[in-house]
Chains A and B, each alone.
Chain A
Amino acid sequence: MASYNLTHLKQLEAEAIFIMREVAAQFEKPVLLFSGGKDSIVMVRLAQKAFSPAKFPFPLMHIDTGHNFVEAIDFRDDMVAKLGANLIVRYVQDSIDKGRAQDEKGPNPSRNGLQTITLLDAIEEFKFDAAFGGARRDEEKARAKERFFSHRDEFGQWDPKNQRPELWNLFNGRKNPGEHFRVFPLSNWTEMDVWQYIASEKLDIPNIYFTHKREIVVRDGALLAKSDFITLLNGEKYEERIVRFRTVGDMTCTGAVESTADNLDDIIQEVASARQTERGTRADDKRSEAAMEDRKKQGYF
Chain B
Amino acid sequence: MNTEIEEKIDSQKYLEMDLLRFTTAGSVDDGKSTLIGRLLYDSKAIFEDQMDAIEEVSNRKGKGYVDLSLLTDGLRAEREQGITIDVAYRYFATPKRKFIISDTPGHIQYTRNMVTGASTANLAIILVDARKGVIEQTCRHSFIASLLQIKHVIVCINKMDLVDFKQEVFEKIQQDYKDFASKLSIPDIRFIPISALLGDNVVDRSENMTWYEGSTLLHTLENVNISSDQNFVDARFPVQYVIRPQSDEFHDFRGYAGRIEGGVFKPGDEVIALPSGFSSKIKTIETIDGQLAEAFPPMSVTITLETEIDISRGDMLVKANNQPQNSQDVELMICWLNEKKLVPNGKYVIRHTTKEARCIVKEVRYKMNINTLHRVEDDTTIGLNDIGRILIRTTAPLFYDSYTKNRFTGSVILIDEFTNETVGAGMII
A→B interface (CB under 8 Å): 1-2, 4-15, 17-18, 21-22, 24-25, 48-55, 137-138, 140-145, 160-161, 163-170, 172, 174-176, 187-188, 190, 192, 196, 199-200, 265, 268-269, 272-277, 280, 289-290, 293-294
User: Which among A10, A22, A143, A174 has the greatest number of chain B C-beta atoms within 10 A?
Assistant: A174
B280 at the interface (CB under 8 A from A): no
User: Which among A1, A145, A188 has the greatest number of chain B C-beta atoms within 10 A?
Assistant: A145
Complex: A170 Cα to B57 Cα, angstroms:
38
Complex: A87 Cα to B75 Cα, angstroms:
34
B47 near A7 with CB under 8 A, answer no
Chain B residue with the shortest CB-CB distance to A297:
B76
Chain A residues, Cβ within 8 Å of B245:
53-55
From known contacts A161-B75, A172-B422, A277-B50, infer whether A196 and B88 are also in contact, taking CB-CB under 8 Å. Answer: no
Chain A residues, Cβ within 8 Å of B8:
269, 272
The segment out of B188-196, B215-223, B405-413 that lies at the interface is: B405-413
Number of interface residues of B (CB under 8 A): 88
From known contacts A163-B86, A276-B49, infer whether A172 and B227 are also in contact, taking CB-CB under 8 Å. Answer: no
The 3 closest A-B pairs by CB, nearest first: A141-B74, A8-B19, A54-B245
In the complex, given contacts A5-B227, A265-B11, what are 17 additional A-B residue pairs having Cβ atoms less than 8 angstroms apart? A1-B227, A1-B228, A7-B16, A9-B15, A21-B240, A21-B241, A21-B257, A22-B240, A52-B286, A160-B86, A165-B115, A170-B412, A272-B9, A280-B47, A280-B49, A289-B76, A293-B76
B420 at the interface (CB under 8 A from A): yes
- Closest CB-CB distance, B387 to chain A, in whole Å? 14
From known contacts A52-B286, A164-B422, A276-B48, infer whether A14 and B259 are also in contact, taking CB-CB under 8 Å. Answer: yes
User: Which among A168, A169, A174, A293 has the greatest number of chain B C-beta atoms within 10 A?
Assistant: A168
A6 near B299 with CB under 8 A, answer yes
Chain B residues, Cβ within 8 Å of A277:
47, 49-50
User: Which of A15, A50, A272 is within 8 Å of B7, CB to CB?
Assistant: A272
Chain B residues, Cβ within 8 Å of A176:
420
The contact string, 1 if C-beta is below 8 Å from chain A, for chain B 238-255, is 001101111101100101
The contact string, 1 if C-beta is below 8 Å from chain A, for chain B 395-429, is 00000000000011001110100001110010000
- 14 A-B pairs with C-beta separation under 8 A: A15-B300, A49-B288, A49-B289, A52-B288, A143-B74, A145-B86, A167-B119, A167-B422, A167-B425, A169-B259, A172-B415, A272-B6, A275-B2, A293-B75
Chain A residue with the shortest CB-CB distance to B72:
A144
A169 near B408 with CB under 8 A, answer yes
Chain A residue with the shortest CB-CB distance to B118:
A167
- Closest CB-CB distance, A153 to chain B, in whole Å? 11
B14 near A192 with CB under 8 A, answer yes
Chain A residue with the shortest CB-CB distance to B14:
A196
Chain B residues, Cβ within 8 Å of A192:
9, 14, 93
- Closest CB-CB distance, B189 to chain A, in whole Å? 22
B49 near A53 with CB under 8 A, answer no
A170 near B91 with CB under 8 A, answer no
Complex: A160 Cα to B383 Cα, angstroms:
22
Main secondary structure of the interface of B (DSSP, over half): mixed
A7 near B11 with CB under 8 A, answer no
- Closest CB-CB distance, A170 to chain B, in whole Å? 5
B→A interface (CB under 8 Å): 2, 6-9, 11, 14-19, 47-50, 53, 57, 71-77, 79, 85-91, 93, 97-98, 100, 112-113, 115-116, 119-120, 227-228, 230, 232, 240-241, 243-247, 249-250, 253, 255, 257-259, 264, 286-289, 296-300, 302, 313, 337, 349, 351-352, 354, 407-408, 411-413, 415, 420-422, 425
B6 near A273 with CB under 8 A, answer yes
- Closest CB-CB distance, A253 to chain B, in whole Å? 15
B89 near A144 with CB under 8 A, answer yes
Complex: A169 Cα to B354 Cα, angstroms:
9
Complex: A22 Cα to B87 Cα, angstroms:
22
User: Which of A49, A170, A272 is within 8 Å of B413, CB to CB?
Assistant: A170
Chain A residues, Cβ within 8 Å of B86:
145, 160-161, 163
Chain B residues, Cβ within 8 Å of A7:
15-19
User: Which among A53, A160, A190, A269 has the greatest number of chain B C-beta atoms within 10 A?
Assistant: A53
Chain B residue with the shortest CB-CB distance to A271:
B9
A8 near B288 with CB under 8 A, answer no
Chain B residues, Cβ within 8 Å of A269:
8-9
Chain B residues, Cβ within 8 Å of A12:
19
- Closest CB-CB distance, B360 to chain A, in whole Å? 18
From known contacts A165-B112, A293-B74, infer whether A145 and B87 are also in contact, taking CB-CB under 8 Å. Answer: yes
User: Which of A49, A174, A268 is within 8 Å of B415, CB to CB?
Assistant: A174
A4 near B232 with CB under 8 A, answer yes
- Closest CB-CB distance, B45 to chain A, in whole Å? 8
A167 near B420 with CB under 8 A, answer no
A200 near B298 with CB under 8 A, answer no
Chain B residue with the shortest CB-CB distance to A45:
B288
Complex: A161 Cα to B339 Cα, angstroms:
13
User: Which of A48, A140, A161 is within 8 Å of B77, CB to CB?
Assistant: A161
Chain B residues, Cβ within 8 Å of A187:
89
Complex: A167 Cα to B114 Cα, angstroms:
10
User: Which of A163, A170, A175, A280 is within 8 Å of B411, CB to CB?
Assistant: A170
Complex: A276 Cα to B116 Cα, angstroms:
31
User: Which among A5, A22, A141, A190 has the greatest number of chain B C-beta atoms within 10 A?
Assistant: A141
Chain A residues, Cβ within 8 Å of B47:
274-277, 280
User: Which among B19, B258, B300 has the greatest number of chain A C-beta atoms within 10 A?
Assistant: B300
B15 near A168 with CB under 8 A, answer no
Chain A residues, Cβ within 8 Å of B240:
18, 21-22, 25
